[in-house]
Structure 1
Amino acid sequence: MTDTLTAPTDVADDLAPAREIPPEFSLRISDDKVRVLLDCPDPLEDIASTVSRILGEFQALELPEFPDADFLGQALRNICEPGHHVRDVVLMMGEDPVPPRHGHLDWSRDYFADGWETEGEGDEVAIDYWAKLDNRAVTKGEVLVVAHPAVPGEPGLNVFGNKIPVPKADKVRVRCGKGVLETTDEAGVKTFTAEINGRVRFTDNTLAVDDVYIIKGNVSLETGNIKHTGTLQIEGDVETGASIQADGDILVKGMVEPAHVQAGGNLTVTGGIVGSEEHVIAVGGDLAAKYIKEAVIRAGGHVRVTNEITHCDIETRGKVDASRGRIAGGRTIARMGITVGEAGASGSSHTLLAAGIDPTLDARLAAKKAELRQMEKARIKLRQAIDVTTRKPGGPNEAELALIEGLDRKAKALGQALADGELALRRLVNEAMTGAREEIFMLRECWAGTTVQLGEYKTLVRASIMKPRLVKRFKTRVRVVPMGEGNCPDEDDED
Structure 2
Amino acid sequence: MTDNQAVNNRFGEIAVEMNFVDQKKLDKALVVQKRIFQKTKVSMPIGQILVEMGAITADAYDEILAMQQEIESKIASAVTGEKTPKKKPSGQAAGGGGSALDIRVSRDKLTVTAIIEGEVPATEFSVNDVKVMLHSESILYGIVEDAQIEAFLKGEAGEEQGLVIARGTAPVPDSPPEIKYHFDTDPLKVGTMTENGLMDWKERGTLPQVKEGDLLAEKIPGPPGKEGMDVYGKKIPIPKARDKRFKCGKGVRKSEDGLQVYATMTGFAKCSYVGEISVMPTLHIEGDVCLETGHVTFDGHIEVEGTVEKGYRVKGGSLRANEIRDAQIDIDGEISAANGIFGATIRCGGSIKAGHINNADIVLVGDIAVEKEVVESKIETNGRFLINDGIVIGSTISAKMGITAMDIGTEASKSSELIVGIDQQLERESEAVTAEIRTLKSEREKLPKILENLKEQADRISTRIGEVAQKQDNCMVRQRQLQKALDAEPLKQDDEKLQQTILELKARQEAYDEEVAGLMEQDDAIGQEIAATEAKIDESKARLEELNSRQDQIAEAKKTDRGIAAVKIGGNVYSGTKFTGPHSVLVLQEDLKRVSIVETDKPDHEGLKRWRFELAPFR
Structure in which a larger fraction of residues adopt helix: 2
TM-score (norm 2): 0.39
Structure in which a larger fraction of residues adopt strand: 1
TM-score (norm 1): 0.48
